Amino acid sequence: MPALPLDEAGKYVAGAYVVFLALILVYVAIMAAKLQRIDRELGELAEIAERGVPRPAGNGAEGEASGGGVHV
């Protein structure tokens, strides 16, 4: 014998489906917002790259990274 009669259990099953659907919709909305933000930031980075913003002057680490040692 089931814990609840089938005519009463239907309400709880329908409620569980509604809650599950609501959670999926919230998840999709969060992912859409995140995707929109990433797309906007990539567009801004592409604009910066197209403008060719010069890099700031280095702190001397470039010589070390390229194998340079003591310069005479």
- Radius of gyration for the alpha carbons in the chain, expressed in angstroms and rounded: 29
Q: Is the pTM of this model over 0.75?
A: no
HSE (side-chain half, CA atoms, 13 Å) at 27:
6
Average pLDDT, integer, range 31-37: 98
Model pLDDT, residue 11:
86
Residue 68 pLDDT exceeds 80: no
Model pLDDT, residue 53:
61
Residue 51 pLDDT exceeds 60: yes
Model pLDDT, residue 24:
98
Q: How far apart are CA 21 and CA 9, in angstroms?
A: 19
Lowest mean pLDDT among 16-25, 53-62, 63-72: 63-72
